[in-house]
Amino acid sequence: MTRRLDGRRTIVTGSSRGIGAGIAERAASEGARLALVARTLDTHPTLAGSLNETAERCRALGADVVTIVADLTDETDRARVVGEAADALGGHIEVLVNNAAAAIYQPLDTYPLKRRRLMMELNVHCPLDLAQAALPGMVDAGEGWIVNLSSGSANPPDGPPYDLGGVRGSFGFYAASKSMLNRLSMAMAAEWHQFGVRVNTVEPKAAVLSEGADELVGGQLRPDQIESMEAMSEAALWLCDCGPDHTGQVEASLDLLEREGIAPMNLQGTGLHPNGIRP
């Protein structure tokens, strides 16, 4: 372990399971002090994973961990997150990882307004609200790191003709929300570069089969279309400690690792992940 985040106060949203839990564990292995945020403290009715389970794994690595149960789709509930995390960790937030997201796949001809509003609240408004709340402390310190989790679906499709196989014909609104997050992140990066605050997005190059993703698309993918949780977490970790001029970038996990010559570690930070970029 290199302890590259030693003592750094870090929020990871959506960290009860999936990519958020993987990033939290990898950050814990590098010495981060963590505020884990999600709705599920103990059990979810259908999906494995909880804040307490992630916290237990992070504490086993020696990390100082607090859990914050919050519904991040609700503006009032999420308004308390950064303040509570800072109070619990004893200082301003230095790293913010906006991982929590809603992915509701449905063709646009029947996509209801209620679901569109929910997606925008969690995928767009929430990352900005949390970033705004964390920004004053980062500005005072002269540095900070904001990492927003995006998706390759934000890239425009080729066509016509358009390939609507698999989930391509039903993830349009989710993709649009992630495209907006990418552009919003670039704007934050441009405005806040003068303060030493780095803002980047990172997306999986291939599918990461988190609990939710496995439910949605797991049976439709070939092995070469899947990357490991370790690879995705390693790429996100790099952005939690990047230099002040690495900002405003839309990164793909495997491309970042290849460019920087990084081999993924296991989530505990004790050695290289045995299968590299594959599960």
pLDDT in tens, 117-163: 999 999 999 999 999 999 999 999 999 999 999 999 999 999 999 99
pLDDT of 212 above 60: no
In a domain, 275, yes or no: no
Average pLDDT, rounded, for the chain: 94
Instruction: Report yes or no on 210 lying in a domain.
Output: yes
Provide DSSP, 74-87: SHHHHTTHHHHHHH
Which tokens belong to 257? 């690792």
CATH of the domain at 82: 3.40.50.720
Decide if pLDDT at 221 tops 90: no
Question: Residue 223 has what pLDDT?
Answer: 75
CA 272 to chain centre: 22
| Calpha distance 213→99 (Å, rounded) | 14
Q: Do residues 35 and 10 lie in contact, with contact meaning Cβ atoms separated by under 8 Å?
A: yes
Residues in the chain: 279
Type of residue at 185: S
Q: In the prediction, which pLDDT does 224 show?
A: 74
Q: What is the pLDDT of residues 174-205, one digit of tens each?
A: 999 999 999 999 999 999 999 999 999 999 99
More confident residue, 63 or 216: 63
pLDDT band for position 222 (50/70/90)? confident
Contact 200, 246 (CB under 8 A): yes
Task: Tell me which of 50-54, 168-172, 208-212, 268-272 is least confident.
Answer: 208-212
What type of residue is 270? Answer: T
Asked if residue 187 is part of any domain, the answer here is yes
- The yes-or-no verdict on residue 227 having pLDDT over 60 is yes
Chain Cα centroid distance, residue 170 = 22
SS3 letters for 218-278? Answer: HHHCCHHHEECHHHHHHHHHHHCCCCCCCCCCEEEHHHHHHHHCCCCECCCCCCECCCCCC
Of 22, 6, 125, 8, the closest CA to residue 75 belongs to 125
Average pLDDT over residues 217-242: 86
> What is the distance of C-alpha 20 from the center of its chain?
6
Which pLDDT does position 219 carry in this prediction?
58
Residue 181 lies in a domain: yes
Instruction: Give yes or no for residue 217 having a pLDDT over 70.
Output: no
Residue 25: pLDDT band (50, 70, 90) is: very high
153 within domain boundaries? yes
Q: What pLDDT sits at residue 128?
A: 98
Note whether residue 121 is domain-resident. Answer: yes
Is 191 strand, coil or helix? helix
Q: Which two tokens stand for residue 125?
A: 């408004």
Maximum alpha-carbon separation in the chain: 55
With a pLDDT cut of 90, the percent of the chain lying above it is 87
- Span 53-93, pLDDT tens digits: 999 999 999 999 999 999 999 999 999 999 999 999 999 99
What's the rounded mean pLDDT across residues 229-237?
Answer: 98
Does 122 map to a domain? Answer: yes
> Is 71 contained in some domain?
yes
Q: Say whether pLDDT at 5 is over 90.
A: yes
Q: How many domains does the chain have?
A: 1
Measured between alpha carbons, how far is 39 from 71 in angstroms, rounded to an integer? Answer: 6
Range of the domain at 156: 9-260
